[in-house]
């Protein structure tokens, strides 16, 4: 049976800029959409394209504070540089730029709409390219994130009585989402990420398992640098997949960041399209109403390839391994030399891989000991 899918994208994304020297390039959304168009994935019979509608303030207030939103609005209207470090605003990481509040509301609105589409709109899967701002806190911007769209969308689902699993495969720990649901058993959060021991945001240990009613419902698999495709799939297969299946949520929300790729300039993991596609295919096989959001990725062509592949898998389409000539012509003009959509499976160097294997096995063992009895025991 063919899935009904929705892709959420706005041409307005290109109207904003974090700054020429900032590692987050908004251009990546356009490149992803251009690659989908080049593969004719934006005109599929069972898929629809939706524009982003900015989130309403009432939705934002289900997580964010009045004072923080007021500061975002104030700074967004200013033509001069502004900063307020109490709210994480105005530093190199989280710059203030004209239209900031509207930009953040676009991404948040897209994810809230995706949640509506899979619960009320008759869609099986909805993918918001400009979602995935998992570092935003209640009253503080962090990690390029101003509004936490996944938290807002999950709150809208909780208001409908839904139980939700949140899976984050970005290279960075989904700290803002974990924080929001750390004490509830209605949301199972799972994050597979590069270890925070010497990496932003410094959280996401396997020891962080939730508290109170939420004990056992926060799950973290920290990965040592140089974790490769096989180890990434191992973490997913031995932790995430069985926990999601046991919890059996009403809705699944996944953050599909592409900064885990071995050529990303900000991270130290070594995965490729091989394990990325493996995970996305297994998620689709669960047949759970699915809200997908973008997330990190600081090599633009990696992002375009990853999200195009994810969208193709969501729609049951196998793509050829080479990039379309139309897209190659576009990226040539931008200085990119990429020619291939797919990567071969990658294995890290032996010494690096052995250290990464030891670390992931230690984390998996701890999770199976402390978390599995709670989740699998409760829903078996």
For residue 380, the model assigns a pLDDT of 63
Interaxial angle between packed helices 372-379 and 350-370, expressed in degrees from 0 to 180 and rounded to the nearest 10: 50
**Residues noted as catalytic:** 135
Report how many domains make up the chain: 1
Place of tokens 């470090």: 85
Mean pLDDT, the chain cut into blocks of 10 residues (380 residues total): 92 88 94 97 97 96 98 91 94 93 97 98 98 98 98 98 98 98 98 97 98 98 98 98 97 98 97 98 98 97 98 98 97 96 96 97 97 85
Q: What is the pLDDT of residue 208?
A: 98
Kind plus residue range of the DSSP H or E element containing 41: none
> Whole-angstrom Cα distance, residue 169 to residue 239?
12
CATH of the domain at 215: 3.40.800.20
Evaluate whether 153 touches 163 at the Cβ level (below 8 Å): no
The residue whose two tokens read 């490769």 is: 228
Residues 6+ apart with CB under 8 A from 356: 223, 224, 225, 226, 227, 228, 231, 348
3-state SS, residue 109: helix
Cis amide linkage into residue 201, ω under 30° from 0:
yes
**8-state DSSP, 45:** T
> By residue range, what is the domain housing residue 262?
5-379
């Amino acid at each position: 049976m063919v899935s009904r899918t929705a892709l959420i994208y706005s041409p307005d994304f290109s109207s904003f800029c974090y700054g020429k020297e900032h590692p987050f390039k908004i251009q990546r959304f356009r490149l992803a959409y251009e690659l989908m168009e080049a593969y004719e994935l934006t005109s599929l019979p069972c898929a629809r394209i939706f524009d982003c509608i900015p989130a309403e303030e009432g939705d934002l207030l289900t997580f964010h504070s009045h004072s923080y939103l007021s500061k975002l609005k104030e700074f967004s209207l200013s033509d001069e540089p502004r900063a307020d470090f109490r709210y994480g605003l105005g530093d190199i990481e989280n710059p203030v730029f004209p239209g900031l509040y509207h930009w953040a509301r676009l991404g948040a609105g897209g994810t809230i709409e995706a949640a509506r589409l899979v619960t009320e709109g008759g869609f099986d899967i909805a993918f918001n390219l400009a979602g995935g701002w998992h570092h935003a806190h209640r009253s503080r911007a962090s990690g390029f994130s101003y509004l936490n769209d996944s938290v807002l969308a999950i709150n809208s689902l909780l208001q409908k009585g839904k139980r939700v699993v949140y899976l984050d495969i970005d290279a960075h720990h989904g700290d803002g989402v974990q924080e929001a649901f750390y004490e509830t058993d209605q949301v199972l959060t799972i994050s597979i990420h590069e270890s925070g021991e010497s990496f932003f945001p410094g959280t996401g240990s396997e020891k962080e398992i939730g508290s109170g009613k939420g004990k056992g419902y926060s799950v973290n698999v920290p990965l040592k640098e140089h974790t490769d495709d096989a180890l990434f799939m191992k973490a997913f297969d031995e932790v995430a997949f069985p926990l999601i299946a046991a919890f059996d949520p009403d809705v699944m929300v996944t953050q599909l960041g592409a900064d885990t790729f071995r050529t990303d300039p900000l991270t130290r993991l070594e995965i490729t399209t091989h394990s990325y596609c493996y995970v996305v295919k297994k998620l689709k096989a669960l047949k759970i109403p699915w809200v997908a959001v973008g997330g990190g990725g600081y090599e633009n062509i990696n992002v375009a390839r990853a999200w195009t592949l994810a969208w193709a898998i969501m729609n049951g389409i196998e793509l050829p391994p080479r990039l379309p000539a139309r897209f190659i012509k576009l990226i040539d003009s931008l200085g990119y030399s990429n020619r291939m959509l797919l990567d071969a499976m990658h294995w890290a160097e032996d010494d690096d891989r052995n250290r990464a294997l030891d670390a992931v096995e230690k984390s998996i063992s701890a999770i199976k000991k402390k978390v599995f009895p709670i989740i699998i025991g409760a829903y078996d």
